[in-house]
């Protein structure tokens, strides 16, 4: 029986609904479900298998390792690896039937050699850098590269061509990238080259520019309910939970946390929650991008000094929104429960608004699917998730120290 103090609860039924609703919205356009980064923190295999069951045509991962992991788990859907590979990884691509992103000819050469030896074809998508400044061939070089790939490498199947938007919420920038991509496609068409799967959209672009859907869209954030949508019914499938493990009354004028960053202004009841920055609770990192960002950061710091916090420093306990006080520790945070001190007990569940993406791998993931509850490896099915919280009315009357 699992009895964790902190866990991520993922409702796979909701992920499934999100995927199905996105599919419906897309019509005949293929859906590539992005499951990189441990499915944005939700757990790679459970989400990938759920997405496939719910109609995802492709899956997208960043690394060869993620792709191999999913193949070993039995996922047979096309798997596009976004990062370009090293030439020595060519054998992995073929052994595990992955689809490689290609930005240069040396990788094509390596894939072709291995494929020829095995009498197979390596499936590739060529990536075009239309403005992101990361992976991809620049549009000016791409037409020639693609022509060479098609004419010189018999064991390569050029299935796709794609680009990635750097600022999809900006129409002008996105159209500039899209037009660069489409003019390359046109140049190729003029040379008699038609590539089956052309794709450019991430979540935000898929919502904002239906005219850019082309043959496939690559959707991550939307599946996880991380971007709002008027067009598609999307729900948040997960919540980050921990529990109160200690309660205490502090007098006025008592410091809280490392660095003495917070001092109580009145008698304060605190709850210690075993969830800190190691687990994924954000600490502010001073990384301003320009003057406005710097100013925002400064204002936040000043408000923080006066005890006014942004929403990311809130924790929900028994329906009340409570502030996290002082500096967050490595594996703990301290929550002000003064306003609910008569209705908070050791063992109570705390919902945190940490970023799921930052959630430590060590936090247990608990899944709900079609009335069943199970953990990541499906080893220990628990009866219900509410087992983790002592039922209301039977809570231990722990004295506040």
Q: List residues with catalytic annotation.
A: 36, 258
Nearer to ligand PLP, 217 or 337 (CB): 217
Q: Which is nearer to ligand PLP, 178 or 277 (CB)?
A: 178
109 lies in the binding site for ligand PLP (CB under 6 A)? no
| Residue 160 in contact with ligand PLP, rule: CB under 6 A | no
Of these, 221, 318, 331, 360, which contacts ligand PLP (CB under 6 A)? 221
Of 199-207, 286-294, 314-322, 390-398, the window that binds ligand PLP (rule: CB under 6 A) is 199-207
Least separation in angstroms between residue 2's CB and ligand PLP is 30
107 is a contact residue toward ligand PLP (CB under 6 A):
no
**CB-wise, 201 or 317, nearer to ligand PLP?**
201
Q: Is 356 in the site for ligand PLP (CB under 6 A)?
A: no
Contact predicate 68/74, CB 8 Å: no
CB of 14 to ligand PLP, least distance (A): 17
User: Smallest gap, in angstroms, from Cβ of residue 89 to ligand PLP?
Assistant: 18
Choose, by CB under 6 A, the member of 64, 197, 216, 219 that binds ligand PLP: 219
Q: How many CB atoms sit inside 10 A of residue 198's CB?
A: 20
In this structure, what are the phi and psi dihedrals at residue 17, rounded to the nearest 5 degrees?
Answer: -60, -45
Q: Which of 125, 218, 327, 356 binds ligand PLP (CB under 6 A)?
A: 218
* HEC profile of the chain: CCCCCCEEEEEHHHHHHHHHHHHHHHCCCEEEEECHHHHHCCCHHHHHHHHHHCCCCEEEECCHHHHHHHHHCCCCCCEEEEEECCHHHHHHHHHCCCEEEECCHHHHHHHHHHHHHCCCCEEEEEEECCCCCCCCECHHHHHHHHHHHHHHCCCEEEEEEEECCCCCCCHHHHHHHHHHHHHHHHHHHHCCCCCCEEECCCHHHHHHCHHHCCCEEEECCCCCCCCCCCCCCCCCCEEEEEECCEEEEECCCCEECHHHCEECCCCEEEEEECCCCCCCCCCCCCCCCCHHHHHHHHHHHHHHHCCCCCHHHEEEECCEEEEEECCCCCCCEEEECHHHHHHCCCCCEEEECCCHHHCCCCCEEEEEECCEEEECCCCCCCCCHHHHCCCCCCCCCCCCC
Q: Does 34 bind ligand PLP (CB under 6 A)?
A: yes
Contacts of 32 (CB under 8 A, 6+ apart): 56, 57, 58, 59, 60, 80, 199, 216, 217, 218, 219
Q: Which is nearer to ligand PLP, 39 or 315 (CB)?
A: 39
Beta bridge partners of 277: none
Q: Which stretch binds ligand PLP (CB under 6 A): 186-194, 198-206, 325-333, 381-389?
A: 198-206
Question: Which of residues 126 and 366 has its CB atom nearest to ligand PLP in the complex?
Answer: 126
Closest distance of CB 279 from ligand PLP, Å: 23
Q: How far is the CB of 356 from ligand PLP (least distance, A)?
A: 12
Can residue 67 be called a binding residue for ligand PLP (CB under 6 A)?
no
Smallest distance, ligand PLP to C-beta of residue 381, A: 31
- Residue among 41 and 220 whose Cβ is closer to ligand PLP: 220
Span from 49-57, 196-204, 235-243, 353-361 in contact with ligand PLP (CB under 6 A): 196-204
Cβ-proximal residue to ligand PLP, closest one: 220
Nearest approach in angstroms of CB 69 to ligand PLP is 17
Q: By C-beta, is 87 or 225 nearer to ligand PLP?
A: 225
Q: Which of residues 164-193 bind ligand PLP (CB under 6 A)?
A: 164
Residues near ligand PLP, by CB under 6 A: 34, 36, 82, 164, 202-204, 218-221
């Amino acid at each position: 029986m699992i009895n964790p103090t902190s866990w991520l609860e993922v409702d796979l039924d909701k992920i499934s609904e999100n995927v199905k609703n996105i599919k419906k919205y897309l019509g005949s356009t293929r859906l590539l479900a992005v499951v990189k980064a441990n499915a944005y923190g939700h757990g790679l295999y459970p989400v990938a298998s759920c997405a496939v069951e719910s109609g995802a045509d492709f899956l997208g991962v960043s690394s060869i390792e993620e792709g191999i992991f999913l193949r070993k788990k039995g996922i047979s859907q096309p798997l596009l690896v976004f990062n370009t590979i090293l030439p020595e990884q060519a054998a992995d691509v073929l052994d595990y039937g992955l689809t490689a992103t290609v930005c240069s000819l040396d990788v094509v050469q390596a894939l072709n050699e291995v494929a020829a030896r095995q009498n197979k074809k390596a499936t590739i998508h060529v990536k075009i850098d239309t403005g992101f400044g990361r992976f991809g061939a620049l549009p000016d070089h791409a037409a020639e590269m693609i022509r060479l790939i098609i004419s010189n490498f018999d064991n390569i199947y050029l299935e796709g061509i794609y680009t990635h938007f750097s600022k999809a919420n900006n129409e002008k920038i996105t159209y500039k990238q899209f037009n660069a991509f489409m003019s390359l496609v046109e140049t190729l068409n003029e040379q008699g080259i038609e590539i089956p799967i052309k794709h450019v959209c991430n979540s935000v672009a898929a919502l904002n520019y239906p005219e850019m859907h082309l043959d496939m869209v690559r959707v991550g954030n939307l599946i996880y309910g991380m971007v709002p949508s008027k067009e598609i019914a999307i729900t948040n499938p997960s919540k980050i939970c921990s529990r109160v493990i200690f309660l205490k009354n502090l007098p006025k004028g008592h410091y809280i946390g490392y660095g003495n960053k917070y001092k109580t202004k009145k008698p304060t009841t605190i709850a210690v929650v075993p969830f800190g920055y190691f687990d994924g609770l954000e600490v502010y990192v001073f990384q301003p991008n320009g003057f406005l960002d710097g100013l925002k950061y400064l204002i936040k710091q000043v408000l923080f000094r006066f005890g006014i916090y942004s929403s990311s420093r809130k924790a929900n306990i028994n329906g009340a929104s409570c502030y996290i006080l002082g500096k967050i520790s490595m594996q703990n945070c301290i929550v002000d429960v003064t306003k609910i001190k008569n209705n908070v007990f050791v063992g109570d569940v705390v919902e945190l608004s940490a970023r799921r993406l930052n959630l430590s791998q060590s936090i247990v993931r608990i899944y709900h699917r079609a009335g069943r509850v199970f953990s990541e490896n499906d080893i220990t099915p628990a009866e219900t998730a509410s087992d983790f919280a002592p039922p209301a009315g039977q809570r231990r009357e722990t004295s506040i120290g």
